[in-house]
Amino acid sequence: MKYLIFVTGPPYGSQNAISALLFVKSVFLMNHSVKKIFFYSSGVYNASSMLSPPESEWNILLEWGKLKKKYDLQLCVCPSSSYRRGIVSDKIAIQFGYFKGCFSSYFQWMSLSELAYSINNYDRIIQF
Protein backbone atom coordinates (compact mmCIF):
# COMPACT_ATOMS: atom_id res chain seq x y z
CA MET A 1 0.00 0.00 0.00
CA LYS A 2 1.32 3.45 -0.94
CA TYR A 3 0.54 6.36 1.36
CA LEU A 4 0.64 10.12 0.87
CA ILE A 5 0.92 11.93 4.20
CA PHE A 6 -0.60 15.40 4.57
CA VAL A 7 0.63 17.33 7.64
CA THR A 8 -1.24 20.47 8.73
CA GLY A 9 -0.11 20.69 12.35
CA PRO A 10 2.92 22.59 13.66
CA PRO A 11 5.99 20.73 14.95
CA TYR A 12 5.32 21.67 18.57
CA GLY A 13 2.10 22.62 20.36
CA SER A 14 -0.01 19.84 18.88
CA GLN A 15 0.35 16.11 18.28
CA ASN A 16 -0.23 16.30 14.51
CA ALA A 17 3.36 16.40 13.28
CA ILE A 18 4.68 13.93 15.84
CA SER A 19 1.82 11.54 15.10
CA ALA A 20 2.55 11.84 11.38
CA LEU A 21 6.22 11.07 11.90
CA LEU A 22 5.46 8.04 14.07
CA PHE A 23 2.83 6.85 11.59
CA VAL A 24 5.34 7.02 8.72
CA LYS A 25 7.82 4.95 10.73
CA SER A 26 5.14 2.33 11.41
CA VAL A 27 4.13 2.24 7.72
CA PHE A 28 7.67 1.22 6.79
CA LEU A 29 7.73 -1.41 9.55
CA MET A 30 4.60 -2.93 7.96
CA ASN A 31 6.39 -3.09 4.55
CA HIS A 32 4.19 -0.44 2.98
CA SER A 33 5.53 2.74 1.41
CA VAL A 34 5.47 6.49 1.75
CA LYS A 35 7.22 8.52 -0.92
CA LYS A 36 5.83 11.96 -0.22
CA ILE A 37 4.90 13.97 2.86
CA PHE A 38 3.17 17.27 2.12
CA PHE A 39 3.21 20.09 4.69
CA TYR A 40 0.42 22.64 4.48
CA SER A 41 -1.08 25.39 6.64
CA SER A 42 0.66 25.45 10.05
CA GLY A 43 2.42 22.24 9.08
CA VAL A 44 4.94 24.34 7.13
CA TYR A 45 6.56 25.31 10.43
CA ASN A 46 8.08 21.81 10.37
CA ALA A 47 10.35 23.08 7.57
CA SER A 48 11.85 25.91 9.62
CA SER A 49 15.58 25.59 10.11
CA MET A 50 15.15 27.84 13.14
CA LEU A 51 13.68 25.01 15.23
CA SER A 52 16.14 24.54 18.06
CA PRO A 53 14.74 22.79 21.12
CA PRO A 54 17.06 22.18 24.08
CA GLU A 55 19.44 19.24 23.60
CA SER A 56 17.53 17.23 26.18
CA GLU A 57 14.33 17.44 24.11
CA TRP A 58 13.35 15.63 20.93
CA ASN A 59 14.15 17.58 17.74
CA ILE A 60 11.46 16.88 15.15
CA LEU A 61 13.36 18.68 12.36
CA LEU A 62 16.26 16.26 12.71
CA GLU A 63 13.82 13.33 12.81
CA TRP A 64 12.25 14.45 9.51
CA GLY A 65 15.75 14.66 8.05
CA LYS A 66 16.63 11.14 9.23
CA LEU A 67 13.43 9.74 7.72
CA LYS A 68 14.12 11.51 4.44
CA LYS A 69 17.60 10.04 4.17
CA LYS A 70 16.74 6.55 5.36
CA TYR A 71 13.67 6.02 3.15
CA ASP A 72 14.33 8.46 0.28
CA LEU A 73 11.22 10.50 1.09
CA GLN A 74 10.14 13.76 -0.49
CA LEU A 75 9.34 16.31 2.20
CA CYS A 76 7.22 18.81 0.27
CA VAL A 77 6.08 22.21 1.49
CA CYS A 78 3.39 24.49 0.07
CA PRO A 79 5.10 27.77 -0.92
CA SER A 80 2.01 29.94 -0.37
CA SER A 81 1.48 28.66 3.17
CA SER A 82 5.19 29.08 3.87
CA TYR A 83 5.44 32.65 2.65
CA ARG A 84 2.44 33.66 4.75
CA ARG A 85 4.20 32.28 7.82
CA GLY A 86 7.70 33.60 7.13
CA ILE A 87 9.25 30.27 6.14
CA VAL A 88 11.27 31.35 3.11
CA SER A 89 14.40 30.23 1.26
CA ASP A 90 17.56 32.32 1.18
CA LYS A 91 16.72 33.52 -2.35
CA ILE A 92 13.26 34.78 -1.34
CA ALA A 93 14.55 36.26 1.93
CA ILE A 94 17.07 38.39 0.01
CA GLN A 95 14.29 39.64 -2.27
CA PHE A 96 12.41 40.82 0.85
CA GLY A 97 15.53 42.56 2.18
CA TYR A 98 16.62 39.95 4.75
CA PHE A 99 20.03 38.33 4.97
CA LYS A 100 18.97 34.72 5.24
CA GLY A 101 15.87 32.56 5.03
CA CYS A 102 14.84 29.81 7.41
CA PHE A 103 13.77 27.06 4.98
CA SER A 104 15.45 23.77 5.92
CA SER A 105 17.44 21.96 3.24
CA TYR A 106 15.58 18.72 4.06
CA PHE A 107 12.47 20.08 2.36
CA GLN A 108 11.43 21.10 -1.15
CA TRP A 109 8.71 23.33 -2.57
CA MET A 110 5.61 21.77 -4.11
CA SER A 111 2.46 23.63 -5.12
CA LEU A 112 -1.06 22.37 -4.46
CA SER A 113 -1.56 21.78 -8.18
CA GLU A 114 1.54 19.56 -8.29
CA LEU A 115 0.19 17.70 -5.29
CA ALA A 116 -3.17 17.23 -7.04
CA TYR A 117 -1.48 15.69 -10.08
CA SER A 118 0.45 13.23 -7.93
CA ILE A 119 -2.52 12.02 -5.85
CA ASN A 120 -3.44 9.30 -8.37
CA ASN A 121 -0.15 7.54 -7.58
CA TYR A 122 -1.25 6.68 -4.02
CA ASP A 123 -3.65 4.22 -2.43
CA ARG A 124 -4.36 6.29 0.67
CA ILE A 125 -4.02 9.90 1.83
CA ILE A 126 -3.69 10.37 5.57
CA GLN A 127 -3.97 13.85 7.11
CA PHE A 128 -2.47 14.84 10.44
Going along the chain from its start, the domains and CATH numbers come out as 2-127 (3.40.1260.10)
**Which position among 24, 77, 78, 88 bears the catalytic label?**
78
**Residue 78 among the catalytic residues:** yes
Distances, alpha carbon 60 to alpha carbons 47, 52, 80, 83, 128, in Å: 10, 9, 22, 21, 15
Q: What is the pLDDT along the chain (128 residues), one digit of tens a residue?
A: 999 999 999 999 999 999 999 999 999 999 999 999 999 999 999 999 999 899 998 899 999 999 999 999 999 999 999 999 999 999 988 988 889 999 999 999 999 999 999 999 999 999 99
Query: 128 Cβ partners below 8 Å, 6+ apart?
Result: 5, 6, 7, 8, 9, 16, 17, 19, 20, 23, 43
The answer to pTM > 0.75 is yes
